[in-house]
């Protein structure tokens, strides 16, 4: 079994331990054939190996229970933390595509964590804006082999966010997830347009509003565009 990428563990570290780093600067770091835009505060990297071990050995049900207990007074924060873990599971699945059983196991863990996060958000009421974030994560996950479910969520997502959040980080995340979905479908042109729109929205939002993980979200968006250009044989400018 391959070990989780450094970039994956950095993302997990920020979500699990730091709750959002104040300084997440852009730096180019190579992880095999994929280029990541990642850099973390001193001290975080020392904990990465421990996170890898915990994610590999701790059942997702137990991890979710711990998170809910940790954020008992703030279920939306718990849901956000679960999202970070789920993203790590997806990355770990992708690194084990040649081992079918391991690949599917990680995807199942990711689905569980995304659904647990969505349940916490839905419990806040039908108007909870974060429900759209969960729908986006599941739409991307299902795009791999459950196309009908994925497409339904994608359409619902865009309608919700464009109506409720025309200029917000919520809409930015939906566009990011839609871009991932289109990449899974092989439509890189549509994915590029969505990522560029995401970056434009984030730049406008973060000029006037301070949000936790803003720099990190920008780094993730930029990194996705870099990876897309690499697949297309283009260089980011």
pTM over 0.85: no
Alpha carbons 21 and 26: distance in angstroms, whole number: 13
Taking only the tens place, the pLDDT of each residue in 124-157 is 986 777 887 888 889 888 888 887 788 788 777 7
Same domain assignment for residues 94 and 177: no
- Residues 41, 51, 140, 125: is their CA dihedral positive or negative? negative
Last residue of a domain, one of 111, 127, 143: 127
136-142 LR contacts (CB < 8 Å, sep 24+): 136/173, 136/174, 136/176, 136/177, 136/178, 137/83, 137/86, 137/87, 137/177, 138/111, 138/114, 139/177, 139/178, 139/181, 140/177, 140/180, 140/181, 140/184, 141/90, 141/107, 141/110, 141/111, 141/114
- DSSP annotation of 33: T
Average model confidence (pLDDT) across the chain: 76
Interacting residues of 92 by C-beta distance below 8 A, sequence separation 6+ = 4, 8, 55, 106
- Which residues have CB under 8 Å from 233's CB, separation 6+? none
Q: Of 71, 100, 127, which residue constitutes the final position of a domain?
A: 127
Element (H, E) at 161: helix 147-164
Are 104 and 53 contained in the same domain? yes
Q: Which residue has the higher pLDDT, 44 or 216?
A: 216
Model confidence at 47, in pLDDT bands (50, 70, 90)?
low
Task: Mark whether 21 and 114 lie in a shared domain.
Answer: yes
Residues in the chain: 237
Examine the pLDDT at 13 and tell me if it is beyond 50.
no
Quick one: 42 and 109 in the same domain? yes
Domain boundaries, position 48 = 1-127
The count of domains in the chain is 2
CATH number at residue 223: 1.25.40.10
What pLDDT is recorded for position 40? Answer: 44
Maximum C-alpha span of the chain: 47
């Amino acid at each position: 079994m391959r070990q989780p990428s450094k970039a994956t563990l950095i993302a997990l570290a920020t979500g699990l331990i730091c709750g959002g780093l104040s300084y997440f600067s852009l730096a180019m770091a190579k992880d095999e054939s994929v280029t990541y835009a990642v850099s973390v505060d001193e001290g975080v990297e020392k904990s990465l190996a421990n996170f890898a071990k915990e994610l590999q050995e701790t059942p997702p049900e137990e991890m979710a229970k711990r998170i809910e207990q940790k954020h008992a007074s703030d279920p939306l924060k718990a849901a956000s933390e679960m999202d970070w873990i789920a993203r790590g599971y997806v990355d770990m699945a992708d690194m084990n595509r040649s081992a079918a059983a391991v690949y599917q196991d990680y995807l199942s863990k990711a689905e569980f964590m995304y659904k647990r996060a969505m349940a916490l958000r839905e419990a806040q009421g039908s108007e909870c804006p974060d429900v759209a974030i969960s729908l986006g994560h599941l739409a991307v996950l299902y795009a791999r082999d459950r196309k009908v479910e994925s497409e339904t969520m994608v359409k619902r997502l865009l309608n919700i966010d464009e109506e409720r959040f025309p200029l917000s980080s919520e809409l930015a995340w939906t566009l990011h997830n839609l871009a991932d979905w289109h990449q899974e479908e092989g439509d890189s042109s549509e994915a590029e347009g969505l990522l560029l729109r995401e970056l434009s929205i984030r730049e406008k939002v973060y000029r006037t509003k301070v949000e936790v993980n803003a720099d990190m979200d920008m780094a993730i968006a930029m990194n996705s565009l870099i990876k897309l250009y690499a697949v297309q044989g283009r260089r980011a400018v």
